[in-house]
């Protein structure tokens, strides 16, 4: 089921999400709904809090370079991370990020270039993953949501002020 995505500056986006304790049917439904919602909105990642569920759950699905747009984010390619923790990180990199909770805004944000992350899958199995490319950036972006942070809060003071002004203007005219 496609769920409604909550939009910045909704206060719920500031929630500190809590750990998942049962890897049950409710969790599986949440993950399935998150996938449907993300794909419907053309996103590459989504945290549960973005559909107003304050649990430490995120998904990422980096589109395949495919001619056929129907299958460029197959469900089996979805990385489902439950209770993730970063156990190693180094370097720095920049990337122009976007977010389904701040639609239409793309800004350069600084992140660690490398990240090693421990997490559980939907069945409660433990995994470790490491990356030094786009996936590492996406994981850091989604993990920030679990701690109540949205990427625009990482902008410099000047850029943040400019963003807030334009965002208010856009909301007023919407």
The site for Co ion (CB under 5 A) is made up of: 99
How many angstroms separate the CA atoms of 156 and 106, rounded?
Answer: 14
CB of 123 to Co ion, least distance (A): 25
DSSP E strands in 49-155: the ranges are 57-60, 79-90, 93-97, 107-111, 114-120, 126-131
CB of 11 to Co ion, least distance (A): 16
Tell me the two tokens of residue 64: 């395949």
Count CB atoms within 10 A of the CB of residue 25: 8
Which of the following is catalytic: 21, 142, 153, 164?
142
How many angstroms separate the CA atoms of 51 and 83, rounded?
Answer: 17
Q: By C-beta, is 53 or 124 nearer to Co ion?
A: 53
Q: Rounded to whole angstroms, what are the CA distances from 68 to 18, 38, 71, 72, 152?
A: 38, 18, 6, 7, 32
Contact 94, 109 (CB under 8 A): yes
CB of 118 to Co ion, least distance (A): 21
CB of 43 to Co ion, least distance (A): 8
Residue nearest to Co ion (CB): 99
Known active-site residue 142: yes
| Cα distance between the two ends of the chain | 26
Residues annotated as catalytic are 142
């Amino acid at each position: 089921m496609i769920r409604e995505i909550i939009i910045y500056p909704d206060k719920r986006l500031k929630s500190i999400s809590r750990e998942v304790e049962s890897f049950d049917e409710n969790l599986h439904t949440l993950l399935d709904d998150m996938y449907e919602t993300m794909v419907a909105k053309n996103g590459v990642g989504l945290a549960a809090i973005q559909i107003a569920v304050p649990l430490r759950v995120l998904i990422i699905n980096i589109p395949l370079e495919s001619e056929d747009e129907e299958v460029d984010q197959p469900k089996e390619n979805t990385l489902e991370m439950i209770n993730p923790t970063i156990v190693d990180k180094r370097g720095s990199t920049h990337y122009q990020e976007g977010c389904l909770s701040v639609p239409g805004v793309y800004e350069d944000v600084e992140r660690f270039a490398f990240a090693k992350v421990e997490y559980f899958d939907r069945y409660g199995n433990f995994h470790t993953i490491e990356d030094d490319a786009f996936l590492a950036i996406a994981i850091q972006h989604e993990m920030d949501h679990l701690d109540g942070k949205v990427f625009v809060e990482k902008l410099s003071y000047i850029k943040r002020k400019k963003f807030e002004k334009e965002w208010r203007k856009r909301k007023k005219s919407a």
